[in-house]
């Protein structure tokens, strides 16, 4: 009898830590469960909307159909929509609720030229030469609006208090539409802003990216017959070539963090005419606006030297520029917990096979799709990569960011492979996942005033005494400039 009693006691003692662990496990937040269920219930509509934007294939400031579809869906869901904000016909704001806190969330929807692609794992343009969503923005705006709609429902039911505001932000790929929306004061009263981006992995985004500036250089000379009397000509094309040669020699004398790109838009029309006009688009980047400024001014100054050597005139016109991202690690830590709560995205064997075929076609290791949630990264002082006008938003309002897997690991971004993935179930799953993670994090923000204050305190401390000023020229945005 004693042995039986001791054995039973031993079982109790062994089991008790497990029981304690089970008891100590946090209960699922019913509001977070609710937003996930709402997004699941709207997933079919979101997928249909994303596929429409994917098929519209619209580029910067020309996203008429995409903007109309997104804003109409917002109205259908009960948001108050204001269109044409910031002097941009395709920009809009969709809002629900009243009072504070005001939580914002951004959604992009522009594509890239020349990337039209069918939903197949090999290069096959849907419309030869047409644009395509090589950055996954057909998924971006829809996921953000889906997340906002889940929060809107909780506000409508009286379960959360405050205002949810969705920003339809056009022209991220070229002109950086958010800059004009910021200039119009549309984000001044926001407590915290949410953002995400399609990616080849799922994680909290805590890297700064690159600040950049874009400007146009034009050279004007004198036309002449290229053989009959070239001595009467002053070649704008000569100036262009001298300028690009100077830029390329300058690369040896800049820091490794700097990037300089140029695109020749007009180098002359025919071979037998000394060209009297040439134009190129120049972009300079660095990991901070402080590092960017001296390089930018030097590259601008070099255009004058090229013009002198070719005996032509020149003009430099600012297009726009963006800041690096002001990372908010307090907010990012909250996002990280919600990603860990959701866990990785699950894929079918067919989706993994599709992914591996894309990796084979693009010369990447055939490892398939990756969405495991890794620990939050340290923010690097000089993080490389791309640039975004979200950086400017992050200097105006504290911003929390994430990426969700919408394409195979290692996929070249801004390519046909991203377009193919974004138009089928791989992209759709990442879109739904992002919507849930964003909405869950917003639930935390609405419920926890102390958390919002901590996020704002970090923002204020990191921003210091810097007074934000957007890198854009005076006047309206370049709506008709085209690519």
Sorted by where each starts, the structural domains of the chain and their CATH numbers stand as 30-208+324-463 (3.40.630.10), 211-321 (3.30.70.360)
If residue 458 lies in a helix (H) or strand (E), which one and from where to where?
helix 449-463
Q: Is 276 helix (H, G, I), strand (E, B) or coil?
A: coil
Predicted confidence at residue 5, as pLDDT, reads 40
DSSP string, 85-133: GGG-TT-EEEEEE-SS-EEEEEE----BTT----SSSS---SSTT--B-
Residue 191 CB neighbours (<10 A): 20
Predicted confidence at residue 480, as pLDDT, reads 81
User: How far apart are the C-alpha atoms of 342 and 280, rounded to whole Å?
Assistant: 47
Per-residue confidence in pLDDT tens, the chain, 483 aa = 444 443 443 444 444 444 444 445 568 899 999 999 999 999 999 999 999 999 999 999 999 999 999 999 999 999 999 999 999 999 999 999 999 999 999 999 999 999 999 999 999 999 999 999 999 999 999 999 999 999 999 999 999 999 999 999 999 999 999 999 999 999 999 999 999 999 999 999 999 999 999 999 999 999 999 999 999 999 999 999 999 999 999 999 999 999 999 999 999 999 999 999 999 999 999 999 999 999 999 999 999 999 999 999 999 999 999 999 999 999 999 999 999 999 999 999 999 999 999 999 999 999 999 989 999 999 999 988 899 999 999 999 999 999 999 999 999 999 999 999 999 999 999 999 999 999 999 999 999 999 999 999 999 999 999 999 999 999 999 998 655
**Nearest Cα to Cα of residue 36 among 426, 337, 341:** 341
User: How far apart are the C-alpha atoms of 103 and 151, rounded to whole Å?
Assistant: 10
**Nearest Cα to Cα of residue 63 among 211, 175, 155:** 175
DSSP string, 160-200: S-SEEEEEE---TTTT-THHHHHHTTTTTT-SEEEEEEEES
**Nearest Cα to Cα of residue 104 among 71, 66, 156, 151:** 151
Contact between residue 243 and residue 270 where contact means Cβ atoms under 8 Å apart:
no
| Token pair belonging to 33 | 């469960």
**Nearest Cα to Cα of residue 433 among 207, 196, 109, 205:** 196
Cα atoms found within 13 Å of the Cα of residue 387, Cβ hemisphere only: 28
**Nearest Cα to Cα of residue 140 among 215, 198, 56:** 198
**Nearest Cα to Cα of residue 221 among 269, 276, 275, 140:** 276
User: How far apart are the C-alpha atoms of 204 and 352, rounded to whole Å?
Assistant: 23
Q: Print burial letters for 79-101: b (CB count within 10 Å at least 16), e (below 16).
A: bebeeebbebbbbbbbbbbeeeb
Give the number of residues written for the chain.
483
| Token pair belonging to 483 | 């690519």
Contact between residue 72 and residue 55 where contact means Cβ atoms under 8 Å apart:
no
Contact between residue 234 and residue 221 where contact means Cβ atoms under 8 Å apart:
yes
Predicted confidence at residue 28, as pLDDT, reads 84
Cα-Cα-Cα-Cα dihedral of 319, 474, 179, 286, to 10°? 50
User: How far apart are the C-alpha atoms of 383 and 158, rounded to whole Å?
Assistant: 42
Rg over alpha carbons for the chain, rounded to the nearest Å, is 26
């Amino acid at each position: 009898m004693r042995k039986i009693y001791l054995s039973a006691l031993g079982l109790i003692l062994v089991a008790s830590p497990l029981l304690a662990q089970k008891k100590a496990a946090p209960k699922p937040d019913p509001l977070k469960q609710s937003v996930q269920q709402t997004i699941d219930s709207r997933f079919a509509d979101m997928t249909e909307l994303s596929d429409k934007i994917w098929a519209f294939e619209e580029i910067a400031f020309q996203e008429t159909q995409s903007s109309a579809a997104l804003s109409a869906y917002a109205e259908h869901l009960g948001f108050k929509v204001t269109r044409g904000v910031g002097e941009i016909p395709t920009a809009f704001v969709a809002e629900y609720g009243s009072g504070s806190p005001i939580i914002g969330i951004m959604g992009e929807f522009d594509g890239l030229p020349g990337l039209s692609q069918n939903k197949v794992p090999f290069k096959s343009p849907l419309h030869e030469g047409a644009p395509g969503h090589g950055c996954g923005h057909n998924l971006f705006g829809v996921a953000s609006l889906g997340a906002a709609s889940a929060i809107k429902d909780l506000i409508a039911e009286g379960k959360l208090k405050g205002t949810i505001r969705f920003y339809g932000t056009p022209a991220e790929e070229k002109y950086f539409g958010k800059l004009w929306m910021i200039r119009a004061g549309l984000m001044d009263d926001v407590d915290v802003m949410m953002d995400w981006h399609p990616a080849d992995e799922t994680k909290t985004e805590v890297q700064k990216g690159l600040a950049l500036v874009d400007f146009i250089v034009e050279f004007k000379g004198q036309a002449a017959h290229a053989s009959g009397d070239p001595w009467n000509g002053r070649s704008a094309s000569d100036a262009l070539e001298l300028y690009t040669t100077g830029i390329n020699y300058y690369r040896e004398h800049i820091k490794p963090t700097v990037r300089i790109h140029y695109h020749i838009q007009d180098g002359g029309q025919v071979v037998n005419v000394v060209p009297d006009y040439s134009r190129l688009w120049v972009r300079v980047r660095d990991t901070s606006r402080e590092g960017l400024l001296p390089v930018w001014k030097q590259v601008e100054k070099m255009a004058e030297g090229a013009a002198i050597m070719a005996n032509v005139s020149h003009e430099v016109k600012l297009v726009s520029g963006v800041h690096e991202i002001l990372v908010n690690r307090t907010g990012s830590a909250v996002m990280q917990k919600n990603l860990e709560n959701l866990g990785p995205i699950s894929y079918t064997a067919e989706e993994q096979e599709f992914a591996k075929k894309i990796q084979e076609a693009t010369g990447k290791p055939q490892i398939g799709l990756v969405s495991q949630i890794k620990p939050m990264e340290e923010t690097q002082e000089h993080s490389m990569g791309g640039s975004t006008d979200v950086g400017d938003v992050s200097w105006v309002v504290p911003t929390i960011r994430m990426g969700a897997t919408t394409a195979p690991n290692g996929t070249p971004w801004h390519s046909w492979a991203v377009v193919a993935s974004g138009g089928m179930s791989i992209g759709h799953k990442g879109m739904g996942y992002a919507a849930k993670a964003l909405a869950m994090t917003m639930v935390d923000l609405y419920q926890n005033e102390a958390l919002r204050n901590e996020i704002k305190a970090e923002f204020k401390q990191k921003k210091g005494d810097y007074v934000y000023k957007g890198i854009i020229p005076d006047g309206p945005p370049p709506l008709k400039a085209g690519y």
